[in-house]
């Protein structure tokens, strides 16, 4: 809906429009104030974009020779573990942990 169309609406209709579009009116009550809030509204990213960003987090396969717990970082079990790139940079400082090659992980799981 354009601003010209919204300007013809009543205060109640504008409040209803704002509610349907998840626009917080911050306690404003006049038509002009409501129109200003609606005009300055920037919608958040759709949830699909958030999912895409989560998928984009880079993962790294590590091989651990033993079970290891690191407070604040988590734990690794004996064998292959998938962790974030940031966590992998910390884990590989341990003697019993190394980066696993994709081919070795694939062959372990029968691919």
Q: What is the pTM for the complete model shown?
A: 0.50
Contact 26, 62 (CB under 8 A): no
Looking at residue 4, its pLDDT comes to 86
Architecture of domain 52-108: 3-Layer(aba) Sandwich (3.40)
pLDDT of residue 39: 86
* pLDDT tens figures, 82-110: 999 999 999 999 999 999 998 998 998 88
How many Cβ atoms from other residues are within 10 Å of residue 64's Cβ? 19
Report which of 84, 65, 87, 67 is spatially closest to residue 75, judged by C-alpha positions: 67
Quick one: tokens of 13? 């209709």
The separation between CA 18 and the C-alpha centre of its own chain, rounded to angstroms, equals 25
Domain ranges of the chain: 3-43, 52-108
Task: State pLDDT tens for residues 51-84.
Answer: 666 656 789 999 999 999 988 889 999 999 999 9
Residue 81's pLDDT is 94
Residue 29: the pLDDT is 83
């Amino acid at each position: 809906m354009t601003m010209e169309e919204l300007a013809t609406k009543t205060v109640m209709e504008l409040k209803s429009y704002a509610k349907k579009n998840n626009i917080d009116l911050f306690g404003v009550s006049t038509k002009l104030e409501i129109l200003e809030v609606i005009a300055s509204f920037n919608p958040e990213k759709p949830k699909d974009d958030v999912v895409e960003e989560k998928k984009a987090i880079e993962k790294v396969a590590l091989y651990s020779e033993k079970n290891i717990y690191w407070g604040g970082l988590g734990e690794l079990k004996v064998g292959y573990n998938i962790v974030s790139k940031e966590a992998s940079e910390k884990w590989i400082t341990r003697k019993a942990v190394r980066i696993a090659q994709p081919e070795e992980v694939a062959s372990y799981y029968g691919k």
